[in-house]
């Protein structure tokens, strides 16, 4: 995963958590993050 994608995901994670919005990463993105 590229550094730009990691930065974007961390930004999105922070935004969602700051608003107390529950989220779940699924599908191909989840597999990529998990290492599949």
Counted domains in the chain: 1
Write down the pLDDT at residue 3.
93
Mean pLDDT for back-to-back runs of 10 residues, the chain (36 residues): 91 98 93 83
- What pLDDT was estimated at residue 33? 84
Domain that holds residue 20: 3-34
What's the predicted TM-score (pTM) here?
0.73
d(CA 15, CA 36): 26
pLDDT at residue 36, as a whole number: 64
Look at residue 15 in the predicted model and tell me its pLDDT.
Answer: 98
């Amino acid at each position: 995963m590229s550094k730009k994608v990691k930065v974007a995901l961390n930004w999105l994670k922070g935004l969602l958590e700051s608003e107390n919005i529950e989220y779940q990463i699924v599908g191909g993105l989840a597999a990529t993050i998990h290492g599949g």
